[in-house]
Amino acid sequence: MEEKYRNLIETTETSEVIFHGKVFDTIVKTVTLADGKSAKREIVVHRGGACVLPVDDDLNCYMVRQFRSPFEKIILEVPAGKLEEGEQPLVCAERELLEETGFVADEIIEFGPMIASPGYDSELIWLHMATGLTKVGQRLDEGEFLNVEKIPLKELLAMAEDGRISDSKTQLCIYKAAGRLGI
């Protein structure tokens, strides 16, 4: 760490798990700030996830539309899911591509991770693009309901720009894919 940033460091004094769940844990930390004062931090601890934008040879993308309970609405997203214990992000992306869209890919390009919400959440979401698609059949998890929609990448860019797509991982995947493909 560069010396000029040392004044930004917080030191953890205590950490307590206050909720342990299937998808995430919640901890409360007591930290000492750079000025010596004490503060509390409430943090969601999440093992992370992976998403993948499937793009065919004609630059059409295969998106999923599903109900999202926190917002009480249906949202258009890239296929995505949480990492299983010890699972690598690329393996998760391949698994979610097959489960949610029914495609396997000749190539999956890794775009790297994004921090979902750094103020309170430890989740990293690994971004990918899949090409060379072959349809083999959807394999949804039990209790998973979604529709797959074929949408041209140029239209997805417009949808991200005008707010019709508001999910951050989806926006970033679209922008990264468009840049990679020279759109």
As for how many domains the chain has, the answer is: 2
Judge if 22 and 57 occupy the same domain: no
Of 12, 30, 46, the last residue of a domain is 46
pLDDT one-digit tens code per residue, 74-87: 999 999 999 999 99
Instruction: Give pTM, 2 decimals.
Output: 0.92
pLDDT (average), residues 141-169? 96
Same domain, 64 and 107: yes
Do the strands 73-77 and 80-82 form a parallel or antiparallel pair, or are they unpaired?
A: unpaired
Q: Do 19 and 56 reside in the same domain of the chain?
A: no
Tokens coding 125: 């979401």
Whether 21 and 9 map to the same domain: the answer is: yes
20 and 74 housed in the same domain: no
Both 98 and 127 in a single domain?
yes
Mean pLDDT, all residues of the chain: 96
Note the pLDDT tens digit of each residue in 5-45: 888 999 999 999 999 999 999 999 999 998 999 999 999 99
Asked if 18 and 55 sit in the same domain, the reply is no
Query: Do 135 and 68 reside in the same domain of the chain?
Result: yes
Q: Across residues 132-152, what is the average pLDDT?
A: 94
Catalytic residues: 142
Are 75 and 39 found together in one domain?
Answer: no
Q: What is the CATH number of the domain that holds 123?
A: 3.90.79.10
pLDDT band for position 1 (cuts 50, 70, 90): low
98 and 150 share one domain: yes
Which residue is listed with tokens 């072959």?
Answer: 134
Run of H or E residues at 168: helix 168-181
Q: Which domain holds residue 12?
A: 3-46
The pLDDT assigned to 141 comes to: 87
Same-domain pairing of 176 and 156: yes
- pLDDT, tens digit, 9 for 90 and up, residues 40-63: 999 999 999 999 999 999 999 999
Same domain for 54 and 83, yes or no, is: yes
* Contacts with 114 (C-beta within 8 Å, 6 or more apart), sequence order: 124, 125, 127, 168, 169, 172
| Structural element, H or E, at residue 44 | strand 38-46
Task: Show the tokens assigned to 51.
Answer: 């998403």
